[in-house]
Chains A and B, each alone.
Chain A
Amino acid sequence: MVENYAILPCNGLDKCAGVISRELAIKLCENAHNEIICPVYSRVAEKKYNKIAGEHSLLVIDGCQTRCASKLAAEKNLKISRKVTITEEAKNHNIELGNNLRLQENENGLIEIILNGLNTEDKVTPFSDEINVEYNFKYKTYQNGKFIFRVPENPEVYFNENDCWAYVIGNRARIGVTDFVQQNLSDILFFAPPEIGAEIDQFGEAGEIESSKSVFELISPVSGKVISINETLLQTPELVNENPYELGWIAELELTGFESDKELLIGFGKYFEIMKKKVEDLNG
């Protein structure tokens, strides 16, 4: 149930997805104790909305991938607890959105589906089978200006050239992003985990992290089935900034093809050199 949320919708009035966002926000407030943050009025009434945001968890409704509402939340330093993107929901449910700014059958149907999803989400406890990982990482650091980049030297940690790591323990692996990613994103404000039970190919998408600057899609170094996600990150995504290898891990996978995956993975030594070159290239 969506209850006691501050709802920040996209409210884009010149696009169908924006109109849907607005309608969804209204519906969420009709039958429950939720409060709307008007993205337009918030420009001039910051105090009022900061108070609302301070007293509630924040649900952001983005119309499309331009993510205006998310960006507004980032600008105002508001932590996002839940997020809906209308165009993505439409895609997931095979619903084609028109260009009409008056809602038609398809759009209203989508609103109902999203409402149902949001209101039942909390009741479902996903099967989360977290392994007990004892970290024993030894880090090597590289400093460029004020930025420090750590990379674990342990041989059980594998990397891809997309700045993601996999810590392999038996037939399972914990995965996450490296310091290079978190330093580039700066303050991480939102974590969208992969779905528990999802089968992910090597180099497939395994969740997203988002800062005010950018979105980063974690590209899984290994193939496998998601058996657990780092639920702590849902409330405190900034742990990825603190240490993306330990408290900031993203997900755990049951490995399905590690012997073959290994062929396209690198160890600490190679990754450290590649990362250094990337940092130097970016900073000139």
Chain B
Amino acid sequence: MSLTTFMGVERDKIDWSPTIDYTKCDYCMECVNFCPHKVFEVRENEEIKLIIRNPDNCVVFCRACSKICGPDALSFPDKNATTQRIKEIRKEETNG
């Protein structure tokens, strides 16, 4: 359902998706209901009930799920480093 490239770079080459801090997460599942891109997966019968299932579905630079997370359990990579990396990959691909 999501685009396979972002800014002309293969999506799976870009490291951008949320990380769940399980010491904070209270499994309220607000993020699951919020994200339309199916990044998260609920595992009802497991000890860890929420995982990042489809990291490459996550919209690069979007941090909206962390904004609605009550216990502040979601974090994202450094945006500037990601921007830099995208520029590098684009350069490598143009030159290579």
Contacts and interface: CB of A to CB of B under 8 A. Distances in A.
B92 to A, nearest CB: 14
B95 interface: no
B41 interface: no
A66 B83 contact: no
A23 interface: no
Given A160-B61, A217-B67, 4 more contacts: A65-B69, A215-B64, A264-B7, A282-B1
A219 B83 contact: no
A227 to B, nearest CB: 22
B43 to A, nearest CB: 22
Nearest to B28: A66
Contact of B62 (A219, A274, A281): A219
Interface stretch (A115-123, A124-132, A200-208, A242-250): A200-208
8 contacts: A65-B68, A65-B72, A162-B60, A203-B61, A203-B83, A205-B63, A217-B63, A219-B61
A65 B61 contact: no
Contacts of B68: 65-67, 215
Interface of B: 1-3, 6-7, 28, 30, 34, 36, 59-64, 67-72, 79-80, 83, 86-87, 90
Interface residues of A, number: 26
A231 interface: no
Contacts, number: 58
A277 interface: yes
Given A162-B59, A201-B80, A277 B67 contact: no
B1 to A, nearest CB: 5
A282 to B, nearest CB: 7
B1 A281 contact: yes
Contacts of B61: 160, 162, 203, 219
Contacts of B79: 201, 203-204
A162 B62 contact: yes
Name the residue in B2, B63, B64 with the highest tally of chain A Cβ atoms < 10 Å from its Cβ: B64
A214 interface: yes
A208 B63 CA distance: 12
B40 to A, nearest CB: 15
A274 B72 contact: no
Q: Considering the complex of A and B, which 8 residue pairs feature the smallest CB-CB distances, nearest first? A: A66-B70, A64-B70, A203-B61, A281-B1, A219-B61, A65-B68, A264-B7, A65-B70
A67 B64 CA distance: 13
Contacts of B64: 214-217
A264 B28 contact: no
A115 B25 CA distance: 30
Nearest to A63: B70
Contacts of A87: 72
Interface in A181-215: 201-205, 208, 214-215
A71 B6 CA distance: 32
A160 B34 CA distance: 22
A264 B7 CA distance: 6
Contacts of B90: 263
Interface string A264-283: 10000000001001100110
